[in-house]
Amino acid sequence: MNDLPKKVHINEEGPREGFQFEKGPIPTARKVELIDALSKTGVKHIQIVSFVSPKAVPTMADAEDVVRGLTLEPGVAYTGLWFNDQGLDRAIGTGRLEIKGSISITASAPFLKKNLNRTPEQQRAVTRGMLDTYRQRGIPLDRATVMAAFGCNFAGDIPVERVVEMVGQLLDLAAEQGVKLERVSLADTMAWATPYSIKRVVGAVKAKYPQLELELHLHDTRGMGIANAYAGMEMGVKRFDSSVGGLGGCPFAGHAGAAGNVCTEDLVFMCDESGIETGIDLEKLAACGRLAEDVVGHPLPGSVMKGGSLRALRAKVREGIAEGARA
Amino acid sequence: MNDLPKKVHINEEGPREGFQFEKGPIPTARKVELIDALSKTGVKHIQIVSFVSPKAVPTMADAEDVVRGLTLEPGVAYTGLWFNDQGLDRAIGTGRLEIKGSISITASAPFLKKNLNRTPEQQRAVTRGMLDTYRQRGIPLDRATVMAAFGCNFAGDIPVERVVEMVGQLLDLAAEQGVKLERVSLADTMAWATPYSIKRVVGAVKAKYPQLELELHLHDTRGMGIANAYAGMEMGVKRFDSSVGGLGGCPFAGHAGAAGNVCTEDLVFMCDESGIETGIDLEKLAACGRLAEDVVGHPLPGSVMKGGSLRALRAKVREGIAEGARA
């Protein structure tokens, strides 16, 4: 089965993922510098901050300052992440972010217990509460995610039927509030996916819900990120989360939790070379990858920013031929 | 098209690729330590050294000592690389290597000129000479490679028809010596391939030569290695070269030519998780990846050796369930 899309939409999550992951403090101005550079690459969506407790995540304490410091680029949606009403209020308070609702449920009950200390029933109740808030405040629901859709460190393999069932639960929860979900995100939260399982799970969800658009959130902990993205594209998936430079991860073995999102430049390179449009300028994006390394102060996992794209090489070859023709 | 094989054969090339690539001297005993560890993982083929001029490649000056130092594991083929009769004599002289012939031609004339200062006609003459040597000395021809099959820094994109034509040339050259080639290796020498081009090129070669077995030699400079390998497997390719830990590459941007082979552990992990047999113990192999980092003294690009396999996680989950059942 090969259903390669003509065009792919990329949600850049590097700033939010990366700044959250980094241990050392990063000056607000440098965060702004990277986000501003990203906004000029053709990326249409950048998730930049989390509105979380500064005690829990000190590196996000300057979230409002980051948002305030940006030079907003027309046509780019800047978004933030929040987990409760307080976070939502902070996001709205900036007056500069696109406020769209998101909900998520988890395919693994043990993970839910470990991560949020909730039962699946409690999680559905929380989700209902969030949907209610969105409805009351007129916030459109943009994203609905099944977390741990490809496996879980605490539950092991997740049966495909379970993922299909969770997608159904999301549709039902939204429908209760009169919202018809048109898109669902499948998240490989703990990097269990391989191209093989991507095709199996995406195929099963599409078989049951052929009208539903799917989105993939892929982590690269086991080096499968790009292969998983391509497998998704071959199954017709058109939307991906990714991180410039692979922000959120680190190539050092000693660095626990080296689990970034799939690298944006590498993904865009693969799309470019497959005739799939992204609207993003790869050279500018690769420069952002190198800037990100400078901002965080250590190497990042991305490959294309180091190995180079093929555009410059092709241009050199053409020049060589032209010179040869003149000789 | 999906023709995923049941079993995949891996040629481990890490020692030869890696020791050749590294700048600093590595003690012979440490090279031997890594190769001996690899030989106990279930890998059936390890390319360990090059017999080249010590002036040109000082890190290979101890090739004979490395071979002499090994504890040979039954069932493992240890091979070396050579480029002329002198190198071949050195390889035979060790008395411990599997001596099999290999030939290669290049899909890019400009690369051939840059790399070996030969015209395609001259390369064919050299290849005829090598085949003649193999025949005279009773050395079986094992490998025939089309280099730069997916693109070239000096010629740009390589037309698919050109690759098919080069495969035909290899078959003809072998046939001139009465040898029927059953296998051809396509090498992505300069890391131009993507899953898309892998499928296109492999598909075209298979369409013209359906009986011919194909083999892939993939570099990871642009992060496409694993995705390319999976694309190859989906096209029925059953043989891959790879490098433990991604030896031969380096994740640092400043390290010019960061272009290792696809990482063996990551490849084996992907096979394991796709139900494809390799005969290799992933945990032992990942330990070799970490040993390789220690031997070369810097981080290597491999992911699974850092992120861990899923076997240990599954075992923990099973234990947890068992405990739960007892409670």
Q: Do B230 and A195 touch (CB under 8 A)?
A: yes
The answer, for A318 touching chain B at a CB cutoff of 8 Å, is: yes
Which residues are paired to A46 by β-bridges?
A12, A78
List CB contacts (< 8 A) between A266 and chain B. Answer: 222-224
B259 contact A CB<8A: yes
pLDDT for res B1: 46
Put simply, whether B137 touches A (Cβ < 8 Å) is: no
B261 within some domain = yes
Decide if B242 is inside a domain.
yes
Contact call for A258 and B306, based on CB within 8 A: yes
Domain total of chain B: 1
CA distance A325 to A315: 15
User: Which of these, B235, B226, B228, lies nearest to B195 by C-alpha position?
Assistant: B228
Angstrom distance (rounded) from CA B244 to CA A63: 42
Cα(B244)–Cα(B223) distance, integer angstroms: 16
Please list the ranges in chain B whose pLDDT falls under 50: 1, 253-256, 324-327
Residues of chain A with C-beta less than 8 angstroms from the C-beta of B196: 4, 270, 273-275
Catalytically active residues of B, by annotation: 250
pLDDT at B92: 97
ipTM of predicted complex: 0.94
CB contact under 8 A, A226 and B230: no
| pLDDT of A233 | 98
Q: Do A317 and B154 touch (CB under 8 A)?
A: yes
- Nearest by CB to B222, which of A221, A266, A316? A266
Residue recorded with tokens 């396999």: B309
Is residue A225 classed as helix, strand or coil in its secondary structure? helix
Query: CB atoms < 10 A from the CB of B287, how many?
Result: 17
Query: Is the residue at B240 inside a domain?
Result: yes
What pLDDT does residue A319 have? 86
What CATH number is attached to the domain comprising A32? 3.20.20.70
Q: Which residues of chain A have pLDDT under 50?
A: 1, 253-256, 324-327
A46-88, pLDDT tens digit by residue? 999 999 999 888 889 999 999 999 999 999 999 999 988 899 9
Residue A3: inside a domain:
no
Give contacts of B220 with chain A, Cβ < 8 Å: 303
* C-alpha to C-alpha distance for A250 and A49, rounded to whole angstroms: 20
What does the pLDDT look like over A276-311, one tens digit per residue? 999 999 999 999 999 999 999 988 889 999 999 999
In a domain? residue A4 = no
Whether B253 sits inside 8 A of A290 (CB atoms) is: yes
Which residue in B282, B303, B321 has the most chain A C-beta atoms within 10 A of its own C-beta, making it the best mutation to test that interface?
B303
Q: How far apart are CA B228 and CA A230, in angstroms?
A: 10
CB of B306 within 8 Å of a chain A CB? The answer is yes
Does residue B1 form part of some domain? no
Q: Where are the beta strands (DSSP E) in A83-212?
A: 101-106, 141-147, 183-188
Decide if A200 touches B, using CB distance below 8 A: no
Domain assignment present for residue A133? The answer is yes
Distance from A208 to chain B by nearest Cα, in Å? 22
Residue A220, domain extent: 9-326
A250 is catalytic: yes
Place of tokens 């058109």: A238
CB distance from A18 to chain B under 8 Å? no
A299 with B258: Cβ contact below 8 A: no
- Say which of B156, B222, B308 has its CB closest to residue A269: B222
CB contact under 8 A, B310 and A151: yes
CA distance A240 to A185: 9
Q: Which residue of B has its CA nearest to A299?
A: B252
Q: Indicate whether B4 belongs to any domain.
A: no
The nearest CA of chain B is from the CA of A104 a distance in Å of 23
Residue B324: per-residue pLDDT: 45
Query: What's the token pair of residue A192?
Result: 């269990």
Place of tokens 């030869």: B16
